[in-house]
Amino acid sequence: MMVSFANLSIILVILLSLFQFLVPVFFLKRKNLTITNLVPFIALLNFFLLTISFFILILSYVNSDFSVFNVWSNSHTSKPLIYKISGSWGNHEGSMLLWCWVMSFYGFLVSLNLQKLSYDFKIRILMFQGILCFGFVLYLFFGSNPFLRLYPAPDEGVGLNPLLQDPGLAFHPPFLYLGYVGLSIVWSFALSGLFNKNFDRSWAKNTKPWVLLSWVFLTIGITLGSFWAYYELGWGGYWFWDPVENASLIPWVITTALLHSILVMEKRGSLANWCILLSISAFAMSMVGTFIVRSGLITSVHAFATDPNRGIFILTLISLYIIVSLSIFALRPVSSNGILKYRILSKDFFLILNNLLLITAALTIFIGTIYPMVLEIFSGERISVGTPFYTITVIPIIFLISIFAPIAVLLPWGNLETKGSYKKYFFIYIFGALFTWVIYLYYNINSIMSFAGVFVSFWIIALSIYSYFSKKTYLSSLSSFLGHTGLGLFILGASISISSKEDFEGAMKINSSINIASYDINFLGVKDEKGPNYISSKGVFLLENKNISSILNPEKRFYPIERSVTTEAAIMSRYFSHIYIVLGERVDDEEWIVRIWYKPFISLIWIGAIITALGGIVGLINRRNYSKKSLKVLGIFLFLLFLPINSHAEPSDISNYDNSLEKRIQSINQNIRCMVCESQTIDDSNSPLAKDLRAIVKEKVLKGETDYQVYSFFRDRYGDYIILKPPFRPNTFILWFAPILIIILGCLIIFISQKKYINKFGDSNGG
């Protein structure tokens, strides 16, 4: 009965959301308030109906109602309650219902009109939200219905993927969707603004909170997903660069650019058309990410579907939305001042430059994500685009962004004189160089990219601190300070942990020990335990040095219902650094394969991300509501972030041979794809094939073969697909040269726009 009502609610939402769109189309210009006043009520009703449907789905999971196909295929009576609840959105159908519910929730918030928007503007926003809701709920009902029935009802369910049975994955999708779908409101604001007679700074002021809100949720969602991958997948890394991860990163980067652009528009009244284009693009990339995850074109541990028919349905829907919104933008461009006159040493210039670099990074990631699919469809060739490609193309752009971003905070707007302002940067540069040198000596950084990253991180942090304390308006600049400082901490943690990590992979006998990073790690044995829905082999490792003695318990869990094995790493956090242990396969009764990492400063990655998100939250709060008490609470919170934390969550290789050979072997392993895993390298993977391939790499390097010879061996055997760095040849030119071409094109547009402005208004109208 409840399931039937849920389906009925979805059908009603389809009809009501269409009505929500059509009423303003036909009656808003006629000023028929009697009818158009229904629109906010319809938005509220849609939210209420989808809330009921979502609640019924969760209740079906809690009650193990296996007459519902979605519950049967993703749950089991033995599953813990929290994973029954999170299982409702941990699948394709449930996640689409969550998407539609969040979309209706944002429409409900707009209908409350807390911002005191003008009547026409509010109705148009709800109109565009209505047509979005109509399309996605239509897809939900006909292409992704979570309430399909099974007759007769089975006694038991299939169960949920064990990798998704984790608290991190319980909260990761909701936060990510609040960000993804929050951009739908930004999209609606942009299109509604095109119908306004005055597209001015008030639009930027009203839209900015929604952009900031979406950006904060995306930041938190991506951070949760990264930390889940780190401790749950057991591979010791925090970012795959696989298509699913890229699908969330691309809209985040574009939204970051939009935030900076809206700041320029709010202060200077320029970049209106650029803000609209970014608003459309950000949500378009969110929708494209939805297609990538649900199309069946890619395989990933957190992709939701492998049904191409669904992919065609949603691709058609998304294409219509993107084409129509871009057409409206093309037909109704905003008349604005474009880019006002500025000096190179001005806030305007650096924000525009950061915009160009951010968009270049987003487009490079997008091209890298879809190019292998496009190439395979049109030529039949298979290539892989992985970490090596993004390290060469995207990471340098991120470094440039990181260098320029904090400088913009210090500079004045427009065409003001800035004589001598460069002098203060000299001392900050010396500060950054000094601390970088100290880190280099202490942590033995041997990577140019990591060395540059450490310098950039200190540069960002030092400039942010200087900028914050050099201004009298501490409260107004707090958001920027936290955002940029968090970015600096993130880069610092990533740079040091990548370059200075130590690791071991090999067989360990019970009661044997190894030393890594001044820690004695003693393998005391393995004990079998039974969990709520799994059987666990739990390793017991005693970790000791002069100051600490701790027991770590990595696990291998077997889930009988799902017939699946997972790895649960054990992590000890101390002074921002991690000892990370993974229990591998049993060799015999007295010997197990073990992987151990020491990752210095890696906690700063997530601490930095949290502080960055906190900066966005501070930006959302009305500054007049700040008080000394609230700032003290914020200070205590930041202090607690830096306390050591122990958590659950895997790995590479230390041996008796030369350390440089070890680093070279690891570098090669990180460029070779595991052919049986989901986007993992053989350095990350625990599969038997990955272990065999790692042994081959090690053997060839020790024989004196060059990197080229090793890669050629694997290419000859498996093809180009196995190498994660795509080959350089005519059909990959666009892949490799896209960043340079985008930057050149962007610089030309900026130069031409500035020249047109000077010719139109003269040299005296700047600033």
**Residue 67: pLDDT over 80:** yes
CA–CA separation, 236 vs 605, rounded Å? 13
pLDDT score of 150: 87
pLDDT score of 22: 93
**Among residues 44, 46, 81, 43, which one has the least CA distance to residue 61?**
81
pLDDT score of 255: 94
Element (H, E) at 556: strand 555-559
Lowest mean pLDDT among 217-221, 354-358, 419-423: 419-423
pLDDT in tens, 707-743: 888 888 888 888 888 888 888 888 888 889 888 998 8
**Residue range 90-97: mean pLDDT, rounded:** 87
CA–CA separation, 723 vs 386, rounded Å? 9
Share of the chain above pLDDT 70, in %: 83
pLDDT in tens, 672-682: 887 766 567 77
pLDDT band for position 652 (cuts 50, 70, 90) = very low
- Of 305 and 244, the structure prediction assigns the larger pLDDT to 244
**Residue 622: pLDDT over 80:** no
**Residue range 79-97: mean pLDDT, rounded:** 85
Query: What is the pTM for the complete model shown?
Result: 0.86
Share of the chain above pLDDT 90, in %: 24
Residue 687 · residue 678 · CB < 8 Å: no
**Residue range 432-441: mean pLDDT, rounded:** 76
**Residue range 36-43: mean pLDDT, rounded:** 92
pLDDT score of 477: 76
pLDDT score of 651: 34
As given in the structure block, the two tokens for residue 357 are 């670099």
Residue 650 · residue 235 · CB < 8 Å: yes
CA–CA separation, 149 vs 146, rounded Å? 9
**Residue range 579-604: mean pLDDT, rounded:** 87
Lowest mean pLDDT among 124-128, 193-197, 353-357: 193-197
Structural domains in the chain, CATH included, are: 1-165 (no CATH), 502-599 (no CATH), 659-722 (1.10.8.640)
**Residue range 744-765: mean pLDDT, rounded:** 66
pLDDT score of 80: 79
What single-letter DSSP state applies at residue 643?
S
| Cβ count within 10 A of residue 687 | 15
**Residue 761: pLDDT over 60:** no
**Residue range 317-336: mean pLDDT, rounded:** 86
**Among residues 358, 257, 250, 278, which one has the least CA distance to residue 742?**
358
Lowest mean pLDDT among 220-229, 564-573, 755-764: 755-764
pLDDT band for position 342 (cuts 50, 70, 90) = low
pLDDT band for position 612 (cuts 50, 70, 90) = very high
**Residue range 64-91: mean pLDDT, rounded:** 85
CA–CA separation, 17 vs 641, rounded Å? 44
**Residue range 640-650: mean pLDDT, rounded:** 43
**Residue 61: pLDDT over 80:** yes
**Residue 637: pLDDT over 60:** no
pLDDT score of 33: 75
As given in the structure block, the two tokens for residue 623 are 């500054």
Question: Dihedral of the CA atoms 520, 591, 234, 637 (nearest 10)?
Answer: -30
Q: Is 646 helix (H, G, I), strand (E, B) or coil?
A: coil
- Of 398 and 625, the structure prediction assigns the larger pLDDT to 398
pLDDT score of 700: 87
CA–CA separation, 134 vs 153, rounded Å? 31
Q: Is 283 exposed, middle or buried (0-12, 13-18, 19+ CB in 10 A)?
A: buried
As given in the structure block, the two tokens for residue 563 are 């017939």
**Residue 413: pLDDT over 50:** yes
User: Which residue's entry shows tokens 């696989």?
Assistant: 242
- Of 39 and 387, the structure prediction assigns the larger pLDDT to 39
CA–CA separation, 242 vs 50, rounded Å? 32
As given in the structure block, the two tokens for residue 738 are 């896209």
Largest CA distance in the chain: 84
HEC string for 456-473: HHHHHHHHHHHHHHCCCC
pLDDT score of 532: 77
- Of 336 and 525, the structure prediction assigns the larger pLDDT to 525
- Of 591 and 31, the structure prediction assigns the larger pLDDT to 591
Lowest mean pLDDT among 30-34, 108-112, 294-298: 294-298
**Residue 333: pLDDT over 80:** no
CA–CA separation, 243 vs 220, rounded Å? 19
The residues with which 586 forms a beta bridge, in sequence order, are 592
pLDDT, the chain, mean: 81
Q: How far is CA 356 from the centre of its chain?
A: 20
CA angle 225, 226, 228 (to 5 degrees): 65
pLDDT score of 133: 94
Lowest mean pLDDT among 210-214, 503-507, 537-541: 503-507
**Residue range 521-527: mean pLDDT, rounded:** 91
Sequence length of the chain is 767
- Of 193 and 433, the structure prediction assigns the larger pLDDT to 193
